[in-house]
């Protein structure tokens, strides 16, 4: 067992404690970025000047009329930028663009004494723009060969030979939608400049260091001239990893030019229409199975809808390729990735970061093909699991594949699946107009940033003379409980009660050059750094205690706030007394900690290496009931077993698993992003720009029975206190609800029918899947032999995802 993962006696990690700000959240006392405006004197308010065309060239921009509006102080334009007019790390996102690239693209910002004055001022700015052709959906971009960024290629084995040897070959196409983050707190920034010209920005950002960097290059100053603080976020989910930089830069520019604090906060409509979403994807695939239903070959092309700029699309596509196998061994693989450039918001990170988009392709393939292979979907999935000694298509050995098996077996046993499957069969036989089904799917998700350099973190720990401890680390808190875990790590490392430790907000002048709180790596990276800093101080304190106790430092233990020798009869020194003694002996009581993830290597050109520290595993079983008249459905029961290693904070982890599943179910079944694809002037407008039109999961969609268990005996050596990441992997457990809906819809047709199911599988989409199954019955389709192309259901134009597949038995070639 490594020193990093080994736990001492009576650790604070592993205790089920509430979120460190839970009481503040529920009482409304928790402060967020925009709450600080009321504490700031003479604050200006920023409002965007938007152009409501999907693609256009700005031919005239006249801010003069806005200055006549009472309360308007200044209009910010490209001419005001002293540094670089760009808010992106790829330098493809002009802060003040001359070319409008999506509907509602802001081209200037108005600063005023009140928000209403700023709004009226923005309306008064004269903007003229000549329209340009606009591509709104990914298929248009593919047809026009409108791509941007890198086009990665992943290959292993001999794919063509694999298809030659396959007993069954299918091919198909699948388009699935993105997802709105809908964090409770919209993007916000508050900037001011002190008497020395130091810029201080409060920002709701997951990546303070990068926000700092973008502000600096917009202002034309050095990073040490800019400090960014993230107090906390009201949700992020990846949507605040890149998108806040430009808004923080606008606020900082306004504060620099006016000498007054500037507040920028998007309202809900602005946030939904101006910020990026989860990437929607289009997939073309061809898959081969042997006669036992084992995967032998996969050839696929995944095209992400990147929107108008690159943002994080390249690493999103890379991670999608890395997760196209999910938990399944595929000996021969060839997958190509590419990024479509469309005239929509610049799509960005979202919980899972491409992993869900890769996994859904293979899960959809297995769900579509299981009936055609005459194999139960559960059996097909379990039969194709990785086993010890196998590696991923990009060359990383799959460690602990037995954990996926253990989680699967536990779900089957504790979920009483064998009995319930029999009950479902009886129910379906007795009910003509409603059907039930149970879907079971696994998750294997790689943890670490694909870019190796990002896998590092820092921390700053202070021990004060009274024995109290203050920690500061590079991770940000967005409700996920990272700060809670860091408090537990510090208390455990020192051997003191949790009440002794306090955590300060994340600031770039305390911990520099931090990575984004993303990739589910927040606790791994920052926990390692906090532990390292605490260990440095503790080592010094052990020397002090050894001198006082008259024993060797190796024989000193600090537990429950007391230092003592290993002998039972040893004298004891309280923590407070030990710290005070150390101070008077001039012993350093602060330290900067550092951690980097070891053992990672990645060649993005060859698409080979070991980019992940480990894999997190999980299994979910979801039971649904579908109404054949409307397509409406309810989730009757969910059983989850998830691998979090040795949990740092079980209550937090279980909450993350529950929340991840529900958010994933929203993406896969409810949240239907729609853009206007007509030729009207409104082309490119996001139609689902409020909670009234964009359906989010609510209490009514929650499972009636929701069982979550943490996989036991899952210690992860080489990770902080044996834990594993929990932020992203649980989202993909929701594939089970989509597969359950597919099976329930198919139950309305003949035995073994394979139905198309769009994503999101809204009630409307499920209804058409039910109708497809019923038509098969009406047309007398019996599953003797294998069908050809599955007919597309009515209303196909209304849905973004309608996979079709075809099957042949050798030597008949697959049709295009």
8 A C-beta contact, residue 716 and residue 614? yes
- Collect all residues with Cβ–Cβ distance below 8 Å to 813 and sequence separation of at least 6: none
For residue 85, how far is the Cα from the chain centroid? 29
Give the separation between CA 109 and CA 264, rounded to whole angstroms: 10
Pairing of strands 601-603, 608-610: antiparallel
- What token pair was written down for 393? 């298509």
Show the CA angle centred on residue 730, arms to residues 725 and 736, nearest 5°: 155
Supply the DSSP symbol for 506: E
User: Using alpha carbons only, how large is the chain's radius of gyration in Å?
Assistant: 28
Residue 634, CB-side half-sphere exposure with 13 Å CA sphere: 8
Catalytic option among 314, 671, 728, 806: 728
Secondary structure (DSSP) of 542-593: HHHHHHHHTS-GGGEEEETTEEEESSTT--EEEHHHHHHHHHHTT---EEEE
Answer whether 768's CB lies under 8 Å from 141's CB.
no
Q: Which of left, alpha, beta for 223 (phi over 0: left; psi -120 to 50: alpha)?
A: alpha
**In which residue are the tokens 């490594």 written?**
2
Task: Please check whether residue 16 is in contact with residue 649, taking contact to mean a CB–CB distance below 8 angstroms.
Answer: yes
Sheet containing strand 199-203, strands side by side: 72-76, 105-112, 44-51, 262-265, 188-193, 199-203, 226-230, 506-507
Chain centroid, CA 87 distance in Å: 22
Q: CA–CA separation, 781 vs 778, rounded Å?
A: 8
How far apart CA 486 and CA 490 sit, in angstroms, is 6
* 3-class SS shares of the chain: helix, strand, coil, % to 5: 35, 25, 45
3-state DSSP assignment of residue 613: coil
Extract the tokens encoding 43.
Answer: 């604050």
Specify whether 99 is catalytic: no
DSSP characters over 450-466: SSGGG-EEEEEEEE-TT
Residues 6+ apart with CB under 8 A from 662: 697, 701, 702, 734
Contact 659, 351 (CB under 8 A): no
Query: Among 659, 761, 21, which residue's Cα sits nearest to residue 351?
Result: 659
**DSSP character at residue 606:** T
Give all strands (DSSP E) within 764-813, no chain letters: 804-809
The SS3 call for residue 759 is: strand
Q: What are phi and psi of 222, to 5 degrees?
A: -85, 160
Closest CA relative to residue 727, chosen from 319, 250, 355, 197:
355
Q: Which residue has 């009886």 as its token pair?
A: 426
CA–CA distance, 218 with 134 (Å, rounded to integer): 29
Phi, psi of 21 (to 5 degrees): -110, 20
Q: Is residue 339 exposed (0-12), middle (13-18) or buried (19+ Cβ within 10 Å)?
A: buried
CA distance 614 to 660: 20
Environment class of 553 (CB within 10 Å of its CB; exposed 0-12, middle 13-18, buried 19+): middle
- The residue behind tokens 């990068």 is 210
How far apart are alpha carbons 5 and 722 in whole angstroms?
4
Q: Which residues are catalytic?
A: 728
């Amino acid at each position: 067992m490594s020193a990093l993962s080994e736990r001492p006696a009576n650790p604070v990690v592993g205790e089920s404690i509430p979120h460190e700000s839970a009481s503040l959240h529920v009482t409304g006392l928790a402060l967020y970025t925009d709450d600080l405006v009321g504490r700031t004197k003479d604050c200006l308010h920023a409002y965007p000047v938007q152009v409501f065309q999907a693609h256009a060239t700005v031919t005239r921009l006249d801010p003069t009329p806005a200055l006549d509006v009472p309360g308007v102080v200044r209009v910010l334009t490209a001419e005001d930028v002293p540094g670089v007019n760009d808010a992106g790390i790829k330098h493809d996102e002009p802060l003040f663009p001359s070319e409008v690239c999506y509907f509602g693209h802001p081209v200037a910002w108005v600063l005023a004494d009140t928000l209403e004055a700023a709004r009226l001022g923005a309306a008064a700015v004269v903007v003229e723009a000549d329209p340009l052709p606009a591509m709104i959906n990914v298929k248009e971009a593919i047809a026009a060969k409108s791509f941007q960024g890198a086009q990665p290629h992943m290959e292993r084995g001999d794919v063509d030979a694999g298809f030659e040897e396959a007993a069954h070959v299918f091919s198909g196409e699948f388009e699935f939608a993105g997802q709105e983050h809908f964090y409770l707190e919209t993007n916000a920034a508050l900037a001011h400049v002190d008497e020395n010209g130091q810029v201080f920005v409060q920002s709701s950002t997951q990546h303070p260091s990068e926000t700092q960097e973008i502000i600096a290059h917009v202002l034309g100053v050095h990073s040490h001239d800019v400090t960014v603080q993230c107090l906390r976020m009201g949700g992020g989910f990846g949507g605040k990893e890149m998108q806040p930089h430009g808004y923080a830069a606008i606020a900082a520019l306004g504060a620099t030019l006016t000498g007054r604090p500037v507040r920028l906060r998007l309202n809900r409509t602005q946030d939904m229409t101006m910020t990026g979403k989860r990437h929607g994807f289009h997939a073309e695939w061809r898959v081969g199975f042997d006669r036992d239903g084992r995967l032998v070959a996969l050839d696929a092309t995944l095209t992400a809808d990147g929107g108008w700029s690159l943002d994080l699309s390249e690493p999103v596509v890379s991670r999608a390729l890395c997760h196209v196998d999910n938990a399944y061994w595929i000996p021969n693989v060839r997958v190509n990735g590419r990024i479509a450039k469309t005239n929509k918001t610049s799509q960005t990170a979202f919980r899972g970061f491409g992993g869900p988009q890769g996994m859904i392709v293979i899960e959809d393939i297995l769900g579509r093909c299981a009936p055609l292979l005459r194999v139960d979907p559960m059996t097909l999935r379990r039969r194709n699991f990785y086993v010890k000694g196998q590696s991923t298509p990009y060359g990383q050995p799959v460690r602990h594949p037995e954990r996926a098996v253990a989680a699967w077996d536990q779900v089957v046993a504790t979920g009483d699946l064998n009995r319930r499957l029999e009950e479902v069969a009886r129910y379906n036989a007795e009910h003509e107009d409603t059907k039930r089904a149970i879907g079971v799917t696994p998750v294997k998700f790689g943890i670490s940033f694909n870019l190796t350099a990002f896998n590092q973190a820092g921390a700053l720990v202070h021990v004060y003379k009274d024995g109290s401890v203050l920690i500061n680390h590079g991770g940000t808190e967005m409700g996920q409980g990272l700060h809670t875990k860091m408090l537990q790590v510090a208390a455990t490392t020192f051997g003191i009660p949790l009440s002794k430790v306090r955590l300060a907000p994340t600031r770039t002048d305390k911990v520099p050059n931090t990575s984004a709180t993303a990739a589910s790596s927040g606790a791994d990276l920052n926990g390692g750094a906090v532990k390292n800093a605490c260990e440095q101080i503790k080592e010094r304190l052990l020397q002090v205690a050894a001198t006082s106790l008259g024993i060797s430092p190796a024989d000193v233990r600090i537990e429950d706030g007391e230092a003592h020798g290993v002998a039972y009869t040893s004298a004891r020194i309280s923590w407070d007394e030990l710290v005070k003694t150390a101070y008077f002996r001039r012993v350093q009581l602060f330290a900067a900690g550092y951690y980097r993830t070891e053992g990672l290597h990645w060649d993005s050109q060859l698409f080979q290496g070991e980019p992940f520290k480990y894999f997190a595993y999980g299994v979910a079983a979801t039971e649904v009931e579908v109404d054949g008249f409307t397509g409406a459905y309810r989730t009757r029961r969910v059983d989850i077993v998830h691998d979090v290693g040795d949990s740092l904070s079980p209550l937090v982890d279980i909450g993350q698993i529950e929340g991840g599943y529900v958010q994933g179910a929203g993406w896969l079944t409810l949240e239907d992003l729609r853009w206007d694809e007509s030729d009207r002037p409104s082309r490119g407008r996001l139609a689902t720009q409020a909670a009234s039109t964009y359906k989010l999961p609510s209490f009514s969609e929650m499972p009636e029975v929701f069982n979550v268990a943490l996989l036991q005996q899952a210690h992860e050596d080489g990770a902080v206190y044996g834990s594993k990441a929990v932020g992203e992997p649980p989202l993909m457990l929701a594939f089970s609800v989509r597969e359950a809906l597919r099976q329930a819809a198919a139950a309305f047709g003949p035995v073994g029918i394979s139905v198309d199911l769009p994503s999101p599988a809204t009630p409307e989409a499920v209804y058409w899947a039910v109708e497809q199954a019923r038509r098969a019955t009406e047309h007398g389709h019996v599953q003797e032999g294998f069908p050809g192309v599955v007919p597309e259901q009515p209303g196909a134009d209304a849905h973004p995802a309608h996979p079709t597949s075809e099957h042949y038995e050798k030597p008949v070639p697959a049709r295009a």
